[in-house]
Amino acid sequence: MMVESASETIRTTTSNQNGVSNLSSQLDGGGGREGGSNGDNNGEISPVDLLHLQQQQALQAARQFLLQQASGLNSPSSNEVKQSPVQVPMSMAMLTPQMISPQQMQQILSPPQLQALLQQQQALMLQQVTHTHTHSFLGSAPAQHQQIGNKQLAFQQQLIQMQQLQQQHMINLQRQGLVSLQPTNPMQSLQQAMCPGDLQQLWKEVSGVQSAEEALKQQHTGEGLDLSTNSTSTSFPKANTHSSLHSLHNGQDNHTPKRDRARLFEWISSFSKADLGDEHLTPYSKGGPLSSSHHEEHAGSHPLYGHGECKWPGCEALCDDMGQFIKHLNNEHALDDRSTAQCRVQMQVVQQLEIQLAKESERLQAMMTHLHMRPSEPKPFNQPLNLASSGSLLKRESEVYPEGLPHPPTSATAPITPLRQGPSVISSSSLHSHSHPHGVGPIRRRIADKFCTPIASELAQNCEFYKNADVRPPFTYASLIRHAILEAPDRQLTLNEIYNWFTRMFAYFRRNTATWKNAVRHNLSLHKCFVRVENVKGAVWTVDEVEYQKRRPPKMTGSPTLVKNMISGLGFGSLNASYQAALAESSLTLLNSQGLVNPSSAASLNMLHGMGHDDVSSTVEQVNSNGSCSPTLSPQQYGHQVHVKEEPTEIEEDSRSMSLMATVTQNMALPSDRDDRDLDDELPTEELE
């Protein structure tokens, strides 16, 4: 029961804001395990402090610049970056965020450059706000209003981009262990990245601009808000504001006519609460605009009310009590164009952050996968990836992951699946195939076998991950069943015990019970390598290693194509040929130091590189578990009734040579702690792969 609730918790990681704190918790836990990866900043100014200091300095400079402008420097030509303390090309500072993603920006720019860019953008934002203000009050021609609307659009786009960029930068710092991780939500992330006061200030600027425009409009037309009026060529900035924000979301400037309230409401409601989280749409989506009957308002708390002030973006109105706040909310933030526009901006912010979160979650899993590997195994990740030859999943991931970054052994579902999925995270649900009942399509099914993933090694490295994350393990049912059975003390399990192993080891299998249990039974019956043995306490299942080795493994003959495929398999954080080579290399070193190996055995180890990884791991596991040289564990030794099955498609292949490996391995000391067997018992033997 506890495990199920735990998996439920994990599953929410990318679906709402709560996931952020969950993710942070995981990060904290992971950081603790890794021990010391966060660095030691005690007694000195931490990088994050420096970052904040720089941001404050930039903002301070921007404020001074604003003051100068307000005191008479109204010339637009003065709005140049030469005021900026850091020299980053203006074209870069202004255009890049809209042209390329923040991730790409970070790859292109060094951290100092990135920081400089952030500062420039912040200063520029404030400058734009000032100019917008200035033009709003000084100019009244429609053309100027049009310009204001465009500036607002540009401003808000850049604001979001800047927020993204800063958040990404913070995450990068966190990833580098330079910043301690804190439970946060998207808005907190923005505030954390920007400096809360300045973010709020920027929001106020947006609101202020719109308020000023509304005032102007009312002055010119002598009428109040008329939401039903279509915008014309002489439309007021308010209409532009609307369309700008609308196009902000659509990614195009289509200058749509004003929507009436119903359409605004419809548009907002089109965002499912599942995507955006309850709190974002609650005021609108439940019973109309900011209804005072909202349940949270009656409950004495409101997400938009805290510390005696209104938390509406850009609004810091002081409200003594909830009643006053509700009154303020209904009066000042009713469903009108401005509120809708602000809501849209907020939606956009949330959506961007959620996308970012999904990506970062996947990146986290890739990092965890990487960090679980020993320091002596960096080779695979130094090799160029050839993802183009991989399947569609890898192609998708190649779009997500920067080149050279190890991909998680996927899954997301992301929700992670987000992957959703691995470790396959992809637990990010966003990466899960929606057409598949399990959320994980067949694409992923054979990943383990295709890339020859060593199940023992993978499980050892990501044991905790699979136990907690709702991520489908990248192994076939057969390999999982076999692993479960071989892991058992007497190398035999009842069906129910196999079920229990699945649910114990993988959060993913704590759901979809009917499906995967059926699959387990199906595999047990189908594959000849699984032998049913009846004893006094009922039927148990064992593994016939000979039969298992007969299963046609992925061909790894060393041809360029296969090697390329293996390299492409790198994307899963699973072991590939290079990794195996590194493992063998390090193992040989170890064995040589123990005088247990000779050149011929080294050749044998190298030969293993051409084997399917499952085969390799099975060999090692078997030897390891048996503790003897016997290459197989014949079920006949049980002396019970045995049901021999026929493998559907059996191609006889030479059994891989394993005697030498067995000879070597049996001499190696094995940890005795069974509780840690996943991590300790298998690793030494896996190193021989």
Partner DNA sequence: GGTATAATAAACAGAA
Partner DNA sequence: TTTCTGTTTATTATAC
Q: 């956009």: which residue's tokens?
A: 348
Query: What radius of gyration, in Å, describes the C-alpha atoms of the chain?
Result: 30
Distance CA 430, CA 557 (A): 36
| CA–centroid distance for 199 within its chain | 25
Distance of closest approach, residue 389 Cβ to DNA, in angstroms: 7
- Residue closer to DNA by CB (options 189, 479) is 479
- Residue closer to DNA by CB (options 127, 492) is 492
Distance CA 460, CA 452 (A): 16
Distance of closest approach, residue 427 Cβ to DNA, in angstroms: 15
Distances (CA, A) of 526 to 192, 336, 465, 648, 649: 55, 64, 30, 7, 10
- Residue closer to DNA by CB (options 498, 660) is 498
Tally Cβ neighbours within 10 Å of residue 149: 26
- Residue closer to DNA by CB (options 273, 645) is 645
- Residue closer to DNA by CB (options 295, 436) is 436
Distance of closest approach, residue 450 Cβ to DNA, in angstroms: 5
Classified as helix, coil or strand, 422 is strand
Distance of closest approach, residue 654 Cβ to DNA, in angstroms: 14
Distances (CA, A) of 577 to 105, 388, 423, 452: 32, 18, 19, 9
- Residue closer to DNA by CB (options 286, 521) is 521
- Residue closer to DNA by CB (options 496, 659) is 496
Distance of closest approach, residue 496 Cβ to DNA, in angstroms: 4
Encoded tokens for 132: 């917008």
Classified as helix, coil or strand, 310 is strand
- Residue closer to DNA by CB (options 311, 521) is 521
Distance CA 479, CA 488 (A): 14
Pairing mode, strands 530-535 and 642-643: antiparallel
Distance of closest approach, residue 641 Cβ to DNA, in angstroms: 11
Whether the CB-CB separation of 132 and 69 falls below 8 Å is answered with: no
Distance of closest approach, residue 436 Cβ to DNA, in angstroms: 7
- Residue closer to DNA by CB (options 151, 532) is 532
Return residues touching DNA (CB under 7 A): 390-393, 436-438, 440-443, 445-446, 449-450, 475-478, 494-496, 499, 514-516, 518-519, 521-526, 532, 539, 541, 551-552, 555, 565, 643, 645, 649, 651
Q: 């090799």: which residue's tokens?
A: 383
Distance of closest approach, residue 449 Cβ to DNA, in angstroms: 5
- Residue closer to DNA by CB (options 220, 555) is 555
Distance of closest approach, residue 626 Cβ to DNA, in angstroms: 23
Q: What is the 3-state secondary structure (H, E, C) of 332-363?
A: HCCCCHHHHHHHHHHHHHHHHHHHHHHHHHHH
What b/e sequence results for 382-416 when a residue is b if at least 16 CB atoms lie within 10 Å of its CB, and e otherwise?
eeebbbeebeebbebbbebbeeebbbbbbbbbbbb
What H or E segment, with its residue span, contains residue 309? strand 309-310
Distance CA 339, CA 449 (A): 54
Distance of closest approach, residue 305 Cβ to DNA, in angstroms: 45
